A and B are shown apart, each in its own frame.
Chain A
Amino acid sequence: MSTKHSKAASAFLEHEEDSRWHNQSIWYVREKRDKMAMELSEWEALRDLSSGIKRHTITHMDQYLEQFSKQAEANGVIVHWAKDAAEYNDIVYDILSGHQVKKVVKSKSMLTEECHLNAFLISKGIDVVETDLGERILQLMNIPPSHIVMPAIHLKRQQVGRLFEEKLHTEKGNSDPTYLTQAARMHLRNEFMTADAGMTGANFGVAATGDVVVCTNEGNADMSTSLPKLHIVSMGIEKVIPDYDSLGVFIRLLARSATGQPSTTYTSHFRKARPGCEMHIVLVDNGRSDILGNKAHWETLKCIRCGSCMNTCPVYRRSGGYSYTYFIPGPIGINLGMLKSPQEYSDNVSACSLCCSCDNVCPAKVNLSEQIYRWRQELDGFHKADPMKKMMSNGMTILYDHPSLYRFSLKMAPIVNHLPRFMVYNGLNAWGKGRELPSFAKESFETLWRKGKVK
């Protein structure tokens, strides 16, 4: 009984010191989030409000998208619609090639990860430079993010130091964070100055004004859009929200939930192109309409990508982002992966003890654990159920649906206590890997009751 996730998690945990460090670093972010949440007396009311606004917007998405695109066009922005990843990549490439772009600087966007945009553009001969520090580190290492908000959280500064020595020619053995950040800034400055286009994601698209709102701590979205003459926004269609009043609710929740900051350092509104420049917004569906039509799982679309469900998840913290087979890990990633392809990503559904902590931190009140529970019910229908678990569940039903058999096994169970150790603790007994089995009582409660010994 194992999954790709459980095997990868097991390998992750073999590095005991690193895995403990990973757990602690991410728990620290959960604690920062708690501190912020406890400072706002209206915190729970804000979460209710945010959930309500998202439910409303998502179920009226057609109207809000139309309003948003009309407003954006009225502001002089060129709006494109992409039904899937391939169409999205083509649209972006067409815009870039139409402007003879050789180099594009990018601020963080999980949507571009989802659509594998970077690899596509690079294959077309365009130089793509990530400008979020974490993302840039990963790009230089040629590895994917392990967390959606803190993409390089699994790396230690010494690893970054060695990488920068090789790639940016920093001093040997210097892994001082300030020094390394300074080196990254100098390196990126040159990229900003020489890029022909800037790309950003979108945390929110405000329908009433056509604004695209981008939250960063490094100001790299602003640099990416202030220097090149071409700005392309990639926005999932579920990012649209009605107006500034609703934006206020989300802005108060986002950074507090994500990193335990009252707000990100920069909350930038992009409404129109600078004089003489061009701004494009690509609205991407890529399966989102299908999620909207999924009665059991549509509320997953409420997610605002803060990552707090990962930070609180006791399994994510102890297994790392790469133990999941979908590019988004943690509770929300388990669900989004299943929505993308249950055939391909069902191995992540095991990565949940159903502790429900994610439900309580989610600023949009996505019912993450209930969704995972529901996916488990659906696995058998996709022929993805674990045969051992199925057999055990069938066996339990037979046992528990026949009280006389159950009573018999209650009587027989203590025999296990007397089996030789090698028969109980063997390769078949996953429980016995790190735990002793409980001893069965000599007389069960049922037996005690029947004998009149319960008094």
Chain B
Amino acid sequence: MKVGLFIPCYVNAVFPEVGVATYKLLKNLGVEVDYPLNQTCCGQPMANAGFEQKAVPLAERFDDMFKGYDYVVAPSASCVAFVRLNYPHLLEGKHECLTSNKTLDVCEFLHDILKVDHLPGKFPHKVSLHNSCHGVRELHLSSASEQNVPSFSKIKDLLSLVEGITLLEPEHVDECCGFGGMFSVEESEVSVRMGTDKLNNHIATGAEYITGPDSSCLMHMQGIAKRLNKPIKFIHVVQILAAGL
């Protein structure tokens, strides 16, 4: 099985350690991982801002670059959701999208494809899980709080394989943190209030860390925590899963 690693733009520039952890973990699990050079961004920022057409060349580039792999794996639920849900219609009239269905968030890949049932590392800390919107409501990484469906969480399943971890969840378990791409600057006051409320709900769990499958949400809450001098730490899910590697 050959996996193409997709490292979204802001992970690349701001959180390279998340990319490194993803690579190490996949490698450790015996997966053949390649990182195609010259990859950039999925195009979600401009599409959500209302300029979907600007994302078309990026979708073409992505589809062409990754079509030869068995799976495309990325440590970012939101970017994966954008590829999965929007690329087919972005490429309409050009060619069939070959990557949308095989592009997976790393948690999905570990849970559904590799069916990981043990992990080597330890993480003896209290962690509050941030259930990000697109992870929950678009990729179905966990059951959504609004729906009457059997409760599940692929991320909790994975994290509970890590020795020593204490897993917590905030009140308003999957309410939005208010990032939303350009929403965060166009509606900055609402965005900051949403983020502050979310941050406080995470802190109220007594956790040392906030973790989640999206560095973008974490980055937003981290920015607020820094401004407010809140001591809580932030870590991507995959970094916990790769603990000790």
Binding site for B on A (CB under 8 A): 1-3, 5-6, 9-10, 13, 19, 23, 27, 34, 37-38, 40-41, 43-44, 312, 314-315, 318-319, 349-357, 359-361, 373, 376-380, 385-386, 389-390, 392-394, 396-397, 399-401, 403, 406, 410, 413, 430-431, 433-441, 443-450, 454-455
Contact = CB atoms under 8 A, between A and B. Distances in A.
B69 interface: no
Contact of A314 (B41, B134, B175, B182): B175
Given A6-B189, A40-B148, 17 more contacts: A2-B186, A3-B186, A34-B146, A41-B148, A312-B146, A318-B194, A350-B187, A354-B180, A355-B137, A357-B144, A394-B54, A430-B186, A430-B188, A433-B192, A440-B13, A441-B15, A445-B7
B206 interface: no
A318 to B, nearest CB: 5
A212 B144 CA distance: 35
A450 B37 contact: yes
A197 B133 CA distance: 49
Contacts of B146: 34, 37, 312, 357, 360-361
A454 B20 contact: yes
B231 interface: no
Contacts of B15: 441
Nearest to B188: A430
Interface of B: 7, 9-17, 19-20, 23-24, 35, 37-41, 43, 45-55, 57-58, 61, 133-134, 137-138, 144-149, 172, 174-176, 178-197, 219-220, 222-224, 226-227
Contacts, number: 226
A443 B16 contact: yes
**Taking each of B12, B181, B189, B196, which has the highest tally of chain A beta carbons within 10 Å of its own beta carbon?**
B189
A25 B34 CA distance: 50
A38 B148 contact: yes
Given A350-B186, A352-B183, A357-B176, A400 B58 contact: yes
Contacts of A318: 190, 193-194
A11 to B, nearest CB: 9
Which 8 A-B pairs give the minimum distances between C-beta atoms? A353-B180, A435-B223, A434-B192, A376-B50, A355-B176, A360-B146, A393-B46, A403-B38
Q: Is the interface of B mostly helix, strand, loop or mixed?
A: helix
A154 B195 CA distance: 22
A439 B14 contact: yes
Nearest to B194: A314
A373 B12 CA distance: 26
A431 B48 contact: no
A3 B193 CA distance: 17
B176 A353 contact: yes
A43 B50 contact: no
B197 A406 contact: no
B49 A393 contact: yes
B22 to A, nearest CB: 9
